[in-house]
Amino acid sequence: ELAKARTEIQDTLRAEEERFLATLENGERRLEELLSKGAALTGEQAFQLYETFGFPFELTQEICRKRGVAVDAESFRTAQEGAAETARAGWKGSGETSQAAYEKVAAELPGFKAEFHGYQKISIKTQVARLLKDGHAVQTLAPGDEGEVVLRSTPFYPEGGGQVGDQGRLCDDVDPEKTIAEVKDTQRPHPNLIVHSVRALKTLRADMPLWAKVDPEKRRTTAYHHTATHLLNEALRRVLGAGVRQAGSLVAPDRLRFDFTHPKPMTQEELAKVEAIVNEAIQSDIPVHPEERPAADIAALGATTLLGENYGAKPRFLLIGKTGWKDPQDRFSLELCGGTHVSRTGEIQSFKIVKETSVAAGIRRIEAVAGPALEQLERQQEDKDRQALKDGLQRYIELTSLIQTLSGKPYKDVIQKFPDAASAPITDVRRALGGLRELEKILKSEIGGLKEAKLAHEAKMGQVLLEVGGVKLSVQKFESAEAQTLRTISDQVKREMGTGVVFLGATAENRLSFVVSVTQDLVEKGVDASAIARQVAAIQKGKAGGRKDFAQGGGPDADWETVVNAVKGSLRG
């Protein structure tokens, strides 16, 4: 296994090294910030570095020792133990009590092992073995109660192998169409028990006979996704190499999720190849053959397995191949699996990869849909695109109206060129949506230019020129101007002045933003824009910063005359 995975191991180790070096860099940066603020490092601060940044405590101690800075190791251990205790408390509350209840139920039913008939049937007549409510055995569940039911035999598949638990109904033994309880989930919390989470509609009693019926549509669409997962696993191995291993999965009625070992993101070409291989296997309508066989056949037939999984003496194999078990080597794929599947790949109909992302170091994730779930996804996307076109057309009207307001001229009407969002073919809608997005960028750029031109005109009209200590000072206040616009105007005014200081402010939502710009000749004489900005910000109780030739700041709105006097005072000083 090590020899086969040599390249993958090297790539993963290299990625781990790079991630650890990045961790050290981030941690050292944060440690520098903490050390600049005090003569000692608290244990809580050291633990924050360890927990949040993954920075080793030993390395923190070493760096601090070189700097002659003390680290409180005792309070670090206290913080670490406190975090561990919080985690333990959260774990205890999540399942310890219910697990004890299942152990007790199993002990009270010596020799009992729930029979699973779900491979052959989705509806059987059975009997209640135990009822539980809030983790305790009870004799009845009243209408409206939520609890758990252990059946002596069941067609409900318990969650496992990535496949979600079945849902469905428990029905009256005399009238199978009369629902007694809704089954919301099925689990196997103990090797001998299959537990059904239910909401009772009628009274449920211990030992009562009833019909157990799996939701056929959810079972069917889950089977589509489970068999598609096997096709995907094999397709990934063919495209990325035999070193790819499954690292987790989720199989549900509406989607599948597949985690696998791979050191880097898949390319679009690789994803397209994988998707094509899966769809080709679906179109080929290959028979699917499940069969329990001796464990020795795992190695003999080269079946794909999960690393470290114990499959028992006679595991269930799932062979996807045209000739079946007559020639198991003539196959698309062979895996060990206890889940429910289609009988032929053609039943899946279609397969689509939705996205590929990173889960952890060296682990990638593919999310995909198959069968009717793909049709539903496409309908949802179509609805989304039609709504996007409607929203885009509304924004177009708003933007062109704003252009007319700013320019004082009517805007040419091009809205009639766009198709009707509700009734046009979706291909036309999507084509129009792309064009509308480009048009929106153009309109926004035009609005930006008009706003700047309008503000520049206002600047000329409302500009106040002063002379303070032999220095020209231009001041101007605007309503609702962005910082970048103020900067553009300040550069223009500065060029026109030749020499001087420009101070521009803008108010919006009870805040005053401002810029200070100084010509280079005055910078050389000691005039500092950042110093002026800080003095103004102090009056506002705000913030400011920048260079000697340009600075900006802002804060709560302040009296304009007081602000201008502060600028004048800075120039006099």
pLDDT per position as a tens digit, 15-67: 788 878 888 888 888 888 777 766 577 888 888 888 887 888 888 888 888 87
The H or E element containing residue 249 is strand 246-251
Least confident range of 68-72, 188-192, 382-386, 506-510: 68-72
Predicted confidence band of residue 414 (pLDDT cuts 50, 70, 90): low
pLDDT at 101 over 80: yes
Q: Would you give the distance in Å from CA 539 to the centre of its chain?
A: 44
Share of the chain above pLDDT 70, in %: 93
Burial zone of 192 (CB within 10 Å; 0-12 exposed, 13-18 middle, 19+ buried): middle
Pairwise CA distance, residues 297 & 444, whole Å? 67
Q: Give residue 88's pLDDT.
A: 66
Q: Model pTM greater than 0.85?
A: no
The predicted model gives 306-310 an average pLDDT of 70
If you search the block for the tokens 């913080």, which residue do you land on?
Answer: 79
The C-alpha atoms of residue 515 and residue 484 are separated, in whole angstroms, by 9
Structure tokens at 395: 């924004």
The pLDDT value given to residue 94? 47
Average pLDDT, the chain: 87
pLDDT in the model for residue 38: 62
More reliable by pLDDT, 137 or 24: 137
How confident is the model at residue 52, as a pLDDT? 80
> Under DSSP, is residue 386 helix (H, G, I), strand (E, B) or coil?
helix
Q: What is the pLDDT of residue 502?
A: 92
Q: Which pLDDT band, with edges at 50, 70 and 90, does 452 fall under?
A: low
- The residue ranking higher by pLDDT, 263 or 480, is 263
Most confident of 104-113, 221-230, 293-302: 221-230
| C-alpha to C-alpha distances, 238 to 270, 278, 353, 369, nearest whole angstrom | 10, 11, 16, 20
Tokens of 139: 């004799």
Residue 93 has pLDDT above 60, yes or no: no
d(CA 46, CA 51): 9
Query: Is residue 98's pLDDT more than 60?
Result: yes
Q: Which amino acid is at 429?
A: V
| Average pLDDT score over residue span 70-95 | 73
332: helix, strand or coil: coil
Segment 261-285, tens digit of pLDDT: 998 899 999 999 999 999 999 999 9
Q: How far apart are CA 364 and CA 246, in angstroms?
A: 10
pLDDT of 343 reads: 96
Query: In residues, how long is the chain?
Result: 573
Burial annotation 302-327 (CB, 10 A radius, 16+ → b, else e) = ebbbbeeeebeeebbbbbbbeebeee
Residue 96: pLDDT band (50, 70, 90) is very low
| Range with lowest mean pLDDT among 191-200, 322-331, 439-448, 499-508 | 439-448
What was the pLDDT predicted at 431?
84
Q: Are 349 and 328 in contact (CB under 8 A)?
A: no
